[in-house]
Amino acid sequence: MAHLTYFTGPMNCGKSTLALQVDYTESTAGRRGLRFTCFDRGGEATISSRIGLVRAAIEVTPSFDFWAHVTGELTGGRRVDHLVCDEAQFYTEAQVNDLARIVDELGIDVSCFGILTDFRTELFPGSRRLVELADRIEMLQARPRCWCGAPATHNARVVDGVMVVEGDQIAVGDTEGGGAGVVSYETLCRAHHRVRQPAVGRGVDATPDPLPFGEA
């Protein structure tokens, strides 16, 4: 029985690395797969990991039709055993619906990889639909850490050294930082995301306010 699986976690947890590993492992078993991506930091039509792995992939645009593409492969006499779908948080709800249909009606395994929430801590539409439809959700175990040492669970957008919580949901950037006006991202624990402190010495003081014991 085919399955729709969503592998997820914050940035820097190895999603793209695992996507390429799954594709490699499936291929060594003689299974033919298709790789998809969307807004990869390495450029269009590419799955790239931060440890240096890079493979070509099919770019998913808002108008891309998964069902038509896969059935076109099959009717053209090309076998398709599995799909690897990276950056799945950027897919539309209709595209996720098509992935579920591919699993159910064509018997093809679909493995999706992406982050759950954006820099505002709100679910991406693609991630929300995957949570609603996936047969299995796997939280990746290579958990990044906040600068304070706590496990990082939230993605922060940083512009000119300042964490921002307003703007377009999609703005491509990486965790390496950059020059003036360049969008970058950091992974933070909930506490430091809540007070908008992306790194030591930036933002506001994260020291908790004293409790009002002893006040008159």
**Per-residue H/E/C for 48-97:** ECCCCCEEECEECCCCCCHHHHHHHHHHCCCCCCEEEECCHHHCCHHHHH
Q: Where in the chain is the domain with CATH 3.40.50.300?
A: 4-139
Which residue is catalytic, options 26, 87, 166, 176?
A: 87
- Which spans in 117-189 are helix H? 125-133
Segments of the chain scoring below 50 in pLDDT: 201, 203-204, 206, 216
Active site annotation includes 132: no
Distance CA 169, CA 206 (A): 26
Packing angle of the helix pair 93-106, 66-75 (nearest 10 deg): 30
Q: Where in the chain is the domain with CATH 3.30.60?
A: 144-202
Distance CA 157, CA 154 (A): 10
Class of CATH domain 144-202: alpha beta
Query: Is 104:54 a contact under the CB 8 Å cutoff?
Result: no
Query: Is 61:48 a contact under the CB 8 Å cutoff?
Result: no
Three-class SS state of 3:
coil
Maximum distance among all alpha carbons in the chain?
81
**pLDDT value of residue 6:** 98
Architecture label for domain 4-139: 3-Layer(aba) Sandwich (3.40)
State the CB neighbour count (10 A cutoff) for residue 93.
14
- Tell me the DSSP string of 13-58: S-HHHHHHHHHHHHHHTT--EEEEESS-TT-TTEEE-TTS-EEE-E
189 CB-near residues (< 8 Å, 6+ apart): 146, 148, 150, 151, 152, 153, 154
Query: Per DSSP, what are the bridge partners of residue 55?
Result: 47
**pLDDT value of residue 180:** 53
**pLDDT value of residue 177:** 57
**pLDDT value of residue 201:** 47
